[in-house]
Amino acid sequence: MPKGPATNADMRSTLFDYSWGEVGRERRGPIPGIKEQLLAVDPETGAYTRIVWFEPGFKFDRALCHEFWEELYIIDGHVMDYGTNRLYTKGAYALRPAGVPHGPFGTDLGCTILETTWFDKNWYEKKIREEKE
């Protein structure tokens, strides 16, 4: 889990030294070939921001469809979405609304991705109401 923040003496910036770990159980892990650095997690909704690293040759053999919005930016390498037959390379950006299928996917070279997720407020409030019933 993350280490604590270290603030510079001039108080203008805070550095975080997060460790790499296996993709957590809350995201159906661990999955061999993927490491993550969780940067932020909303304890109320479970939304998160993380850096994800896929080792060269990684393949994920099933499509995904989740309840949250997902924003991705490819920092390095590439990843292939075999479901759409689209190759995402360094500098590519993708935004997926909740409920949009994607994958299976893989990478020959390896890939580093910045990923942010969030829940639509109306969807989240409906989910909370349903859980209380």
| φ/ψ bin of 115: left (φ > 0), alpha (ψ from -120 to 50), beta (otherwise) | beta
What domains appear along the chain, each with residue ranges and CATH number? 5-132 (2.60.120.10)
Residue 77 has pLDDT above 80, yes or no: yes
| Residues 52/58, Cβ–Cβ less than 8 Å | no
Instruction: Write down the pTM of the prediction.
Output: 0.74
- State the average pLDDT over residues 88-106: 92
Q: What is the pLDDT of residue 132?
A: 81
- Give residue-wise pLDDT tens across range 10-69: 545 555 566 777 776 556 667 888 998 888 888 878 888 999 999 999 998 888 888 889
- State the average pLDDT over residues 80-92: 94
